[in-house]
Amino acid sequence: MPQNRSGVLLVNIGTPEAPTKEAIKKYLKQFLSDQRIVDVPRWIWWPLLHLIILPTRSRRLVQLYISIWMNEGSPLMVYSQRQCYKLSTKLDIPVALGMNYGNPSLKSALDILIKKQKIKKLIVLPLFPQFSCATAGAVWDGIHKVFSDYRSIPSVCFIRDYAQNPTYIAALAASVNYSFKKYGKPDLLIVSFHGVPQRFVYEGDDYPQRCYATFKLLIKALSMNLNTAMLTFQSRFGHEPWLTPYTQSTLEILPNKGIKNVHVISPGFSADCLETLEEINIQNREVFFRAGGTHFEYIRALNADEAHINMMKELVIPFCND
What's the pLDDT at 12?
Answer: 98
275 is in an annotated binding site: yes
Of 208, 40, 216, the residue nearest 132 (C-alpha): 208
Question: What range does the domain containing 195 cover?
Answer: 166-299
Element housing 12 (H / E)? strand 6-12
Q: How many CA atoms lie within 13 A of 188 on its CB side?
A: 22
End position of a domain, from candidates 118, 135, 162: 162
Q: How far is CA 150 from CA 110, 115, 122, in A?
A: 10, 10, 14
Confidence of residue 314 (pLDDT cuts 50, 70, 90): very high
Whether the bond into 104 is cis, omega within 30 of 0: yes
Average pLDDT over residues 189-200: 97
- Residue 306, domain member (yes or no): no
Please check whether residue 82 lies inside any domain of the structure: yes
Domain count, the chain: 2
Provide the 3-class DSSP secondary structure of residue 104. coil
**Do the domain assignments include residue 318?**
no
116 and 147 in a single domain? The answer is: yes
Please give the pLDDT value at position 80.
Answer: 98
Q: Are residues 36 and 148 in the same domain?
A: yes
Phi and psi, residue 306, nearest 5°: -55, -40
* pLDDT at 236 > cutoff 70: yes
Identify whether residues 23 and 154 lie together within a single domain: yes
Q: So what's the pLDDT on residue 206?
A: 98
Q: What is the pLDDT of residues 110-126, one digit of tens each?
A: 999 999 999 999 999 99
How confident is residue 303, by pLDDT bands cut at 50, 70 and 90?
very high
What gap in Å lies between CA 214 and CA 191, rounded to an integer?
10
Peptide bond into 245 cis (omega under 30): yes
Same domain for 136 and 243: no
Q: Each residue of 27-53: pLDDT tens digit? A: 999 999 999 999 889 889 999 999 999
Indicate whether 92 belongs to any domain.
Answer: yes
Cα–Cα distance list, 71 to 22, 29, 66, 78 (Å): 20, 25, 11, 10
Same domain (yes/no): 152, 182: no
Q: Name the phi and psi angles at 123, rounded to 5.
A: -105, 115
pTM beyond cutoff 0.85: yes
Average pLDDT along the chain? 96
Q: 281 lies in a domain?
A: yes
| pLDDT the model gives residue 3 | 54
263 is in an annotated binding site: no
One domain, residues 23 and 144: yes
Whether residues 183 and 248 share a domain: the answer is yes
The terminus-to-terminus CA distance of the chain in angstroms comes to 13
Examine the domain organization and report whether 94 and 233 are in the same domain.
Answer: no
* C-alpha separations of 296 from 134, 212, 277, 288, 293 in Å: 30, 23, 13, 8, 8
Residue 99 has pLDDT above 80, yes or no: yes
How far is the CA of 6 from the CAs of 116, 190, 308, in angstroms?
Answer: 13, 39, 21
pLDDT score recorded for residue 146? 97
- Domain CATH for 21: 3.40.50.1400
Last residue of a domain, one of 135, 162, 189: 162
In a domain, 316, yes or no: no
Please tell me whether residue 195 adopts helix, strand or coil conformation. coil
What pLDDT, on the 0 to 100 scale, is given for residue 155?
96
At residue 145, does pLDDT exceed 60? yes
Instruction: Express as a percent the part of the chain with pLDDT over 70.
Output: 98
Q: What's the whole-number mean pLDDT along residues 269-280?
A: 98
Q: What is the pLDDT at residue 194?
A: 98
Tens-digit pLDDT profile for residues 153-183: 999 999 999 999 999 999 999 999 999 999 9
Mean pLDDT, range 301-310, rounded to an integer: 98
- pLDDT confidence of residue 322: 52
Note the pLDDT of residue 226.
Answer: 87
Q: Calculate what percentage of the chain has a pLDDT beyond 90.
A: 94
Instruction: Output the pLDDT for position 2.
Output: 52
Do residues 62 and 182 share a domain?
no
CA torsion sign for 179, 217, 132, 302 is positive
Asked if residue 125 belongs to a domain, the reply is yes
80 and 134: one domain? yes
Residues 121 and 204 in one domain: no
Q: Residue 202 pLDDT more than 90? A: yes
Closest CA to 172 of 221, 122, 226, 243: 221
Does 122 map to a domain? yes
Residues 150 and 233 in one domain: no
Is the pLDDT confidence value at 257 over 60?
Answer: yes
pLDDT digit string, tens, across residues 53-92? 999 999 999 999 999 999 999 999 999 999 999 999 999 8
Query: Using one digit for the tens of pLDDT, what is the confidence trace for 59-69?
Result: 999 999 999 99
